[in-house]
Amino acid sequence: MTEPEQAGGPTSESRREFIKTSTVAVVGGTLAASLGPARMAHAGEDDTIKIGLIGCGGRGTGAAGQALRTAGKVKLVAVGDAFADRVASSLQNLGREGEIAEKIDVPEERRFVGFDAYKNVIDAGVDLVILATPPGFRPVHFKAAVDAGKHVFMEKPVAVDGPGVRDVIAAAEIAKQKGLAVGVGLQRRHEAPYIETIKRLQDGEIGDILAARVYWNGAGVWVHPRKEGQTDMEYQMRNWYYFNWLCGDHIVEQHIHNLDVINWLKNSYPVKAQGMGGRQVRVAPEFGEIYDHHAVEFEYADGTRMFSYCRHIPNCWDSVTEHAIGSKGTANLSAATIEPKEGEKWRYRGEKKNPYQVEHDDLFASIRAGKPINEGEAGAQSTMTAILGRLATYSGKVVTLDSAINSQISLAPKVYAFDAEAPKVVVATPGVTVVV
């Protein structure tokens, strides 16, 4: 499946530039410094980790490039996407990057196209798969990779509905039992300023955490005009961001980053939510069914509230940030600053590395050490937080986590094929739409 580039997040081009201009160590992760090929686990006899890429859009291409820059021997040996043009452009873009071009070995027979391409990549003799399709496919692809005994890096979010989240949690547990590494693209958890700031907050620098505010407000993303002869299924696939069975709405696809930061800080997940949202400016048919704004109040089990705002409307106030309010001060986690009511303001001044690279460095280092990390359940739970928010705004009701995660409402189509019937486009109406 394909995943075009995302506004508001690094494209493959901007990621490459970030790598060139950032302070990126050869071995960048916290796990990597003391590890070597002699401690390699689950790879070929020559210690080469063979990589398969599933989803060849901008995000997948960027992730593959970062995987190929990790320490030790690595090789990209298979790629797959729903669209042939995405396979070609991904390999072309990766081949332009001189430092990794020699690590690409993908002949025609290991370039797969179609809805079943993921199966072929998994069966192509790989050790690790990168899952970077639209998130609606993630539960199916993740389960198939784990069943086949493959390590996984999967982009966030990891599902778009309750059934998908349940499937990912179950597969993550099987991966743990099998000793497989699972990385999830919530790169803030691998970013030194966030790590240090959250540690300080968890150690009590602003006292008890009373509330949090999180934002992902921006102008929105691309639209690809319908081409002559396209089926509805292909059109939706090319414009996956606007259809919930593929994207989950932008509160799930983008805002998950900010929600995850507070879940990480709290070391827990909201138990219920209520909110409001709608479509104010993106009302034309090409914008599918997602809302262009959401405002949600999440509640944790201890009564703490997280106030969440995300918007895709041009010419408005933009912010992609996270803030914590404590009994003894406040913190801007995205800026890595803490302002206690008494004492001096603290700001992170340590080394900064590209977190998109570090998350891969950490994952591959854990494989080589034989101590695989597994971020699957945490990624699934934060995905569920974002889905919970969508269900609250779509319904206009208070929605509990239990009802949301146990919902039997699946957004998936009955048949995955370009000539199959695409899911019906239905814009949610608060007070009317049934969500669980």
Predicted confidence at residue 101, as pLDDT, reads 96
Pairing of strands 272-278, 399-400: antiparallel
Task: Answer whether 290's CB lies under 8 Å from 199's CB.
Answer: no
The four Cα atoms 131, 215, 346, 193 give a dihedral, to 10 degrees, of 10
> What are the residues facing 324 on neighbouring strands?
212, 331
Task: Answer whether 310's CB lies under 8 Å from 251's CB.
Answer: yes
The helix/strand/coil state of 41 is: coil
In whole angstroms, how far apart are CA 261 and each of 286, 298, 357?
Answer: 32, 14, 19
Task: Answer whether 135's CB lies under 8 Å from 247's CB.
Answer: yes
Q: What's the half-sphere exposure (Cβ side, CA atoms, 13 Å) at 356?
A: 23
For CA atoms 299, 288, 255, 313, the dihedral sign is negative
In whole angstroms, how far apart are CA 436 and each of 28, 291, 300?
Answer: 43, 18, 20
If you ran DSSP here, which 8-state letter would residue 29 be given? Answer: S
Predicted confidence at residue 126, as pLDDT, reads 98
Phi, psi (degrees; rounded to nearest 5) at 372? -65, 130
The answer to whether the predicted template modeling score (pTM) of the entire model surpasses 0.85 is: yes
> What are the residues facing 277 on neighbouring strands?
294
The domains found in the chain, sorted by start residue, are 12-187+356-374 (3.40.50.720), 209-326+383-405 (3.30.360.10)
Predicted confidence at residue 98, as pLDDT, reads 87
Predicted confidence at residue 46, as pLDDT, reads 80
Q: Please work out, in degrees rounded to the nearest 5, the angle formed at the alpha carbon of residue 193 by the alpha carbons of 12 and 206.
A: 140
Residue-wise pLDDT tens digits, 83-136: 999 999 999 999 998 889 999 999 999 999 999 999 999 999 999 999 999 999
Residue-wise pLDDT tens digits, 331-348: 999 999 999 999 999 999
Task: Answer whether 374's CB lies under 8 Å from 384's CB.
Answer: no
* Number of neighbours of residue 96 by Cβ within 10 angstroms: 10
Q: What is the 3-state secondary structure (H, E, C) of 144-196?
A: HHHHCCCEEEECCCCCCCHHHHHHHHHHHHHHHHHCCCEEECCHHHHCHHHHH
Predicted confidence at residue 28, as pLDDT, reads 37
Pairing of strands 74-81, 49-54: parallel
Predicted confidence at residue 339, as pLDDT, reads 98
Predicted confidence at residue 10, as pLDDT, reads 35
Pairing of strands 111-113, 74-81: parallel
Predicted confidence at residue 45, as pLDDT, reads 56
If you ran DSSP here, which 8-state letter would residue 137 be given? Answer: G
Please return the burial class of 302, using the count of CB atoms within 10 Å of its CB with bins 0-12, 13-18 and 19+: exposed
Pairing of strands 49-54, 128-131: parallel
Rounded to the nearest angstrom, the gap between the alpha carbon of residue 284 and the centroid of all alpha carbons in its chain is 27
The pLDDT averaged over each successive group of 10 residues in the chain (436 residues) is 37 36 34 36 71 98 98 98 98 94 98 98 98 98 98 98 98 98 98 98 98 98 95 97 98 98 98 98 96 98 98 98 98 98 96 98 98 98 98 98 98 96 97 98
What single-letter amino acid sits at 147?
D
Burial 194-218 (b: 16+ CB within 10 A, else e): bbbbbebbeeebbeebebbbbbbbb
Q: What's the half-sphere exposure (Cβ side, CA atoms, 13 Å) at 31?
A: 20
